Amino acid sequence: MTLDPRPFAEGPARDARFAVREVWAEMDNLESDALLNREFLHRQMNEEVNGLEMAARNLTDFPDAPWELRMAIARQCWDESRHVTMFRRCYERRSGRVGEHPVLNFQYRIITRIDTLIGRLAVQNRSFEAAGIDGIQEGIAVARARGEEDLVELLEAQLADEVEHVRYANDWIKRLTDAGGARAAFDLARAVAHANAAMAVVAGDNTVQYPVAEELRREAGFSAGEIAAVKEAREP
Ligand SMILES: [Fe+2]
Ligand SMILES: [Fe+2]
């Protein structure tokens, strides 16, 4: 499938091992793609590469951002690179081979189409990664019930990092909005609308959503009203 290029920037480079697909329906979507099974681990490994690539692009594309914010983004690069390694290790321990399943790079393609840092933080950290927190919380319970201790360990370490990625973005979005006024608020809203439209193209009729991890979202800097709004949208 070829995507309408307008909402999607060019994808990141991948070597010859990887078959890159554009939308969810083109993935293997095996029965075994359920949370934490092999295809999931492979897909998540590549999504962590996307996380690293997007954060790295935020450093190169916005060299004038406040130093403290750039340091938080640089730390995120380091965290995401560790996540790639952790997922790869668990995947290969289960006899997975890198490149065995297709991958999606929609996150990178949506994010790098956004031309403001506040917009990218709103979509990558505050939306994609916040949804990730909900999924990880669910994943820990599943891994624990199955007695897969290496996955419990991986997910608990990842969760601590992802909460911090959402938290610093929430913090900086407030600071950038306070400093930038209506223009910043408009940039944020424009980015979120763009991402919602692009996600609808990628996801199609796939609507996997996990219960909202309220306590963790609070820890990550969301207000009670924001958490209620996510719950309302998910469980109307
Ligand atoms: Fe990550
Ligand atoms: Fe992250």
Residues, beta carbon < 5 Å, ion ligand 2:
51, 129, 162, 165
Query: Degrees (nearest 5) of the Cα angle 93, 158, 72?
Result: 135
Residue with tokens 């709103």: 122
Residues in the chain predicted with pLDDT less than 50, given as ranges, are 33
pLDDT at 36: 76
Report the sign of the C-alpha dihedral through residues 10, 114, 158, 205, in that order.
Answer: negative
* Closest C-alpha among 188, 132, 10, 19 to residue 196: 188
The total number of residues shown for the chain amounts to 236
pLDDT at 45: 97
Cα of 46 from ligand 2 centre, angstroms: 13
Cα of 158 from ligand 2 centre, angstroms: 8
Cα of 163 from ligand 1 centre, angstroms: 10
* Closest C-alpha among 235, 217, 201, 231 to residue 106: 201
pLDDT at 179: 96
| Ligand with smallest separation from the Cα of 165 | 2
Q: What is the pTM of this model?
A: 0.92
Cα of 205 from ligand 2 centre, angstroms: 25
Supply 40's token pair.
């999931």
pLDDT at 4: 65
Q: Is 78 exposed, middle or buried (0-12, 13-18, 19+ CB in 10 A)?
A: exposed
